Amino acid sequence: MANAKANARRFRGVVMPTASHPAIRRVRRQGHVPGIHGNKLWKSSALLIDYLHRQRPEHCQRVLDVGCGWGISGIWCAKQLGSSVTSVDADPAVFPFLDATAELNGVATRHRVARFEKITGRELAGYDMLIAADICFWDELARPVGNLINRALRAGVKHIVVADPERQPFLDMAQGCVERHCAELLPWQCRGSIEARGALLVIENA
């Protein structure tokens, strides 16, 4: 138990395990190897969680966490907001790590394996909020992420929040959203057990 506590941090009411946590090491021993950067919890998730902690969304019953990785942002929504969460990632190998993280927090989320461009407007219409962290890490991701946001807004998703450490592909995508959708691009930092700095793209779809 002491080893488990030493390899996890509690942040805004959620347990965030490190790669050395016994539960995560157990998943690795089972042979699961994420292939699209889903090998750890990324700090932009802390930015997203901190923002939602401070700016509680009005509509959050049904949350879509895209490019979820280990899913900590969606797990936080399930635990702290009581949201029904669907976690989406192109890499099915991330979900055993997500399940281990969710179990540490006493919640569960639904899983869906899909690339951004495969998430349809009809599917998006079933959600109140779309969240994401660290999903614009390559230049070629900016367009599909921007198109996903366009579809989400047309489908009536009420809140969209995307966090990033301010990589250029994210900033390019976000600027397009500022121009088209009156989005806000907010500098953000959080302190405490996790310290992180970056930016948030926030869109309220009235």
What is the pLDDT averaged over residues 26-36?
Answer: 78
Q: Enter the pTM of the model.
A: 0.93
Q: Domain residues of the chain, as ranges? A: 2-204
CB 30 within 8 A of CB 53: no
What is the pLDDT averaged over residues 172-185?
Answer: 96
Interacting residues of 76 by C-beta distance below 8 A, sequence separation 6+: 12, 13, 14, 49, 52
Q: Identify the pLDDT of residue 44.
A: 94
CA–CA distance, 31 with 48 (Å, rounded to integer): 30
CA–CA distance, 115 with 36 (Å, rounded to integer): 12
Helix (H) or strand (E) holding 110: strand 110-113
Residue pLDDT, tens place only, 37-59: 555 577 899 999 999 999 999 99
Q: Identify the pLDDT of residue 3.
A: 52
Residue 54 has which token pair? 């401070």
Beta bridge partners of 17: 8
Pick the CATH number of 2-204 from 3.40.640.10, 3.40.930.10, 3.40.50.300, 3.40.50.150: 3.40.50.150
Residue pLDDT, tens place only, 58-89: 999 999 999 999 999 999 999 999 999 999 99
C-alpha 36, offset from chain centre? 15
Burial of 134-145, coded b for 16+ CB within 10 Å and e otherwise, reads: bbbbeeebbebb
Per the model's pLDDT, the better-predicted residue between 99 and 7 turns out to be 99
